[in-house]
């Protein structure tokens, strides 16, 4: 995205929208987070009796028609797009933006998603098998494209700037944040609706993760199943939801009197090039991504007040992330409070980075770190400060958000308080 504007403009966040298993909208989401309330429960979208894992972080009480008035358009959308549109409209409303005239041309949409459209395909495949090929929905191909999320948001908001999706597994939304940050910083765009969306609670997707033995199997106590960094963790919990943020050039936001949640200061992105599921045990490239983000932000390790961890609740990820933090922060690592939102909402895969970035910005807004719940048994390989079970009031000026994806993707964002 070439531009004649001067580079290195400041980029701030002025709007937040979130749809999650612990609340619709930023206020409900934050209250649940700070209270340590879990959204993990038995699956209701289908009968999970035959599955080794029978629970997830479902978004309940979500009525898409409240956000998408055109009935025909609504029926042509995969659930992932519905979640994306809803959270994008929340974010625009929260930012107080009136997208009219030339502003529509200078507004882009970048959305991260790993499996967008999978649910639509699975449902239509069932129709194909039961009723034949001519009975599937004629919009199946369009609804199942990964880019349908970004396109639907652009159409619903009427914005005509660049519109695309990013699919980098569990780091998708954080990578979307990095690209959005650079687009505004370079002067290519003035506004961006950025985030991630994922609707993954379908039989075929759940079965795939069950067979891979990646999920927790605590069917008798779902709310305690996601337990990042606790020694008795036994796998991640599948979640769904969306988180969208409005990014804006700082001077414009200041001049219009916008509320600013924080400033995006830096981004680092690397790939382990090691294995499709296992992180590099040495953590070299993940550590390099953190160091790149710190350098991009122009700050040192002594200035990070809080780390929002990727913290999946898998044995390998949590100990590796701990080791990487120690590698980068050295003797200061034990002094930095760290927490994992997945303990309450599960793993939103492609949407995890943006929903957790929203949590990070709200923590900075309220100067309070939400806890890592279900932390019950200390692990000698996970021996840092994970803010266990109860929120903590802490001064937060600068925070780091970690995202690590299948295939060795590493994406780090740093945000600061204005």
Question: Helices 352-366 and 26-35 sit at what angle, rounded to 10 degrees?
Answer: 80
Q: Are 415 and 357 in contact (CB under 8 A)?
A: yes
d(CA 333, CA 322): 9
Q: Is 259 a catalytic residue?
A: no
What domains sit in the chain, N to C, each tagged with a CATH number? 11-255 (3.40.47.10), 267-416 (3.40.47.10)
* Cα–Cα distances in angstroms (integers) from residue 6 to residues 20, 54, 106, 193, 204, in the given order: 38, 53, 16, 22, 48
By percentage, how much of the chain surpasses pLDDT 70? 98
Select which of 170, 210, 267, 382 is catalytic: 170
Who's near 15: CB < 8 A, 6+ residues apart? 91, 92, 93, 94, 95, 96, 97, 244, 245, 246
Q: Is 170 a catalytic residue?
A: yes
Question: What is the pLDDT at residue 123?
Answer: 82
Select which of 149, 267, 310, 382 is catalytic: 310
Select which of 149, 210, 267, 347 is catalytic: 347
d(CA 410, CA 325): 13
pLDDT digits (tens, 9 = 90+) for 117-165: 888 888 888 888 999 998 888 888 877 788 899 999 999 999 999 999 9
Dihedral of the alpha carbons of 361, 352, 194, 261, in degrees to the nearest 10:
0
d(CA 231, CA 234): 9
> Cα(first)–Cα(last) distance of the chain, in Å?
27
Question: What is the pLDDT at residue 7?
Answer: 55
Return the sign of the alpha-carbon dihedral for residues 123, 125, 128, 134.
Answer: positive
- Using the structure block, give the residue that is written with the tokens 């039961």: 130
Question: What is the pLDDT at residue 5?
Answer: 41
List the Cα angle 321/59/99 in 5-degree steps.
Answer: 90
Which residues is 400 bridged to in the sheet? 307, 414
Task: Mark the ranges of the chain whose per-residue pLDDT is less than 70.
Answer: 1-7
Return the sign of the alpha-carbon dihedral for residues 273, 274, 275, 278.
Answer: negative
Q: Are 328 and 295 in contact (CB under 8 A)?
A: no
* DSSP secondary structure of 176-233: HHHHHHHHHHTTS-SEEEEEEEE---SHHHHHHHHHTT-B---TT-GGGT--TT-TT-
């Amino acid at each position: 995205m070439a531009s004649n504007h001067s580079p290195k403009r400041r980029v701030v966040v002025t709007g937040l929208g979130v749809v999650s298993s612990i609340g619709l909208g930023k206020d409900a989401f934050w209250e649940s987070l700070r209270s340590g309330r879990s959204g993990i429960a038995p699956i209701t979208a289908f009968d999970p009796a035959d599955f080794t894992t029978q629970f997830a972080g479902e978004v309940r009480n979500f009525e898409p028609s409240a956000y998408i008035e055109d009935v025909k358009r609504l029926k042509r959308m995969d659930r992932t797009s519905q979640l994306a549109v809803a959270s994008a409209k929340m974010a625009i409303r929260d930012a107080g933006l009136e997208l009219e005239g030339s502003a529509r041309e200078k507004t882009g949409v970048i959305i991260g998603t790993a499996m967008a459209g999978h649910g639509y395909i699975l449902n239509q495949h069932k129709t194909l098998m039961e009723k034949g090929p001519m009975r599937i929905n004629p919009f199946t191909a369009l609804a199942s494209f990964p880019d349908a999320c970004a396109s639907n948001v652009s159409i619903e908001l009427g914005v005509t700037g660049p519109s695309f999706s990013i699919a980098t597994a569990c780091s998708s939304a954080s990578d979307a944040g990095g690209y959005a940050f650079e687009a505004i910083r370079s002067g290519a765009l003035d506004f961006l609706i950025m985030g991630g969306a994922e609707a993954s609670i379908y039989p075929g997707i759940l079965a795939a993760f069950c067979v891979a033995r990646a999920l927790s199997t605590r069917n008798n106590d779902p709310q305690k199943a996601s337990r990042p960094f606790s020694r008795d963790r036994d796998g991640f919990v599948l979640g769904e939801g969306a988180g969208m943020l409005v990014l804006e050039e700082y001077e414009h936001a200041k001049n219009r009197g916008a509320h600013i949640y924080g400033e995006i200061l830096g981004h680092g992105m690397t790939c382990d090039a090691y294995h499709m599921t296992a992180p590099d045990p040495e953590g070299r490239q993940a550590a390099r991504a953190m160091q790149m983000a710190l350098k991009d932000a122009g700050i040192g390790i002594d200035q990070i007040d809080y780390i929002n961890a990727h913290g999946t609740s898998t044995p390998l990820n949590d100990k590796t992330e701990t080791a990487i933090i120690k590698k980068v922060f050295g003797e200061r690592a034990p002094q930095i409070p760290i927490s994992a939102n997945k303990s309450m909402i599960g793993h939103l895969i492609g949407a995890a980075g943006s929903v957790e970035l929203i949590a990070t910005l709200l923590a900075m807004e309220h100067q309070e770190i939400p806890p890592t719940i279900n932390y019950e048994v200390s692990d000698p390989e996970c021996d840092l400060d994970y803010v266990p079970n109860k929120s903590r009031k802490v001064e937060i000026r600068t925070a780091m958000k970690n995202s690590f994806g299948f295939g060795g993707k590493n994406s780090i964002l740093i945000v600061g308080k204005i």
